[in-house]
Amino acid sequence: MRHIENSSVKGIQHSPFKIQNYTMSANLDSKAVQKTDFTLPGQTAFYRGKVRDVYSVGDKLVMVASDRISAFDHILPRAIPYKGQVLNQIAAHFLAATEDIAPNWLESTPDANAAIGKRCEAYPVEMVIRGYCTGHAWRTYRSGLRELCGVALPEGMKEHDKFPEPIITPATKAEEGHDEDISREDIIAQGIVSEADYVQLEAITRALFQRGTEMAAQQGLILVDTKYEFGKIGDTIYIIDEIHTPDSSRYFYADNYAENQEKGLPQKHLSKEFVREWLIENGFQGLEGQTMPVMPDSFVEKVSDRYIELYESITGKAFEKADTTNILARIENNIVAAL
């Protein structure tokens, strides 16, 4: 996500893969936001990311959380009803709960799928923090390496074991393609972020992760790992983009974590991993020559229900579905009224 003045008009990269022929439900797809193409009053720039459509309006950013879903770095053909609302409202929930730690970009959420806030100059790094040897950390560890982004990893760990203390493993922000791991030392040495600013980013990252861990525990969850993005206006550092959502974070259920670790069983988690599993079962992992499967209506509805379950599990609040009768007009009208 870019909070930068010269964000250019971009489109999502077209997938090089063949896509299955499929019959879709017009009624189901009409409830989802595949993309927006608004022309907002005072608009100066537009950027389309994997999930969000971002409009620059003066010194403000308008972010529309679409219902697009990605996996293996590719946008899937069908959008998921209410997914954007879930992400937008979870992010707003956690940004409001962390304002005492650091200021954030968000000023208002005029629509279930939209947020308006300050346009910052983004730091070109993501601050990834990991409490457990899971995902990328485990794959690195399993390969035999005992260092990740310049951070030493202890011997004798199993998959999903808790680190003695959370580790920060930054990644550079790529305009296209994959983000790349980078060490604290290289970030400072290359002048990507000044040492003074980086020290602040690390401190804020640890404080946010601690708060997220405490809030997750209240819901019977474990915040496993997550990422934060930051920007700057003048001398002030702001939290930007989303925090603690299922698209940016990984959660385990706490009640059976210890037992599963002891028995070597998989951990029950809250994430979109089940979508990746469905794609793998249907022969797709983002590799050349593979055909991208298209989710049938029944699975789209299942994914939608799962995202709503994620919202309620993470926030402890009941989810209220927004009106999808004319969803694009609703979003645009609410944004314009708020500007």
Chunked into runs of 10 residues, the chain (339 residues) has average pLDDT values of: 38 50 68 96 94 95 96 89 96 97 98 97 97 95 96 97 98 71 97 97 98 97 97 97 91 96 92 86 90 92 93 96 96 97
C-alpha 53/C-alpha 68 separation (Å) is 10
Considering the four listed CATH numbers 3.30.200.20, 3.40.50.970, 2.50.20.10, 1.10.569.10, the one that applies to the domain covering 18-121+279-292+315-338 is 3.30.200.20
Residue 209 near residue 131, CB atoms below 8 Å:
yes
pLDDT attached to residue 315:
95
H/E element, 196: helix 195-218
pLDDT attached to residue 177:
52
C-alpha 103/C-alpha 61 separation (Å) is 16
C-alpha 212/C-alpha 288 separation (Å) is 38
pLDDT attached to residue 286:
86
Task: Say if 18-121+279-292+315-338 and 122-273 have the same CATH topology.
Answer: no
Dihedrals phi, psi of 152, to nearest 5 degrees: -70, 135
The amino acid at residue 307 is Y
Residue 121 near residue 231, CB atoms below 8 Å:
yes
Q: HSE-up of 181 (CA within 13 Å, CB side)?
A: 12
The CATH homologous superfamily of the domain defined by 122-273:
ATP-grasp fold, B domain (3.30.470.20)
pLDDT attached to residue 179:
74
User: What are the residue ranges spanned by the domains of the chain?
Assistant: 18-121+279-292+315-338, 122-273
User: Structure tokens of 24?
Assistant: 């879709």
H/E element, 64: strand 60-65
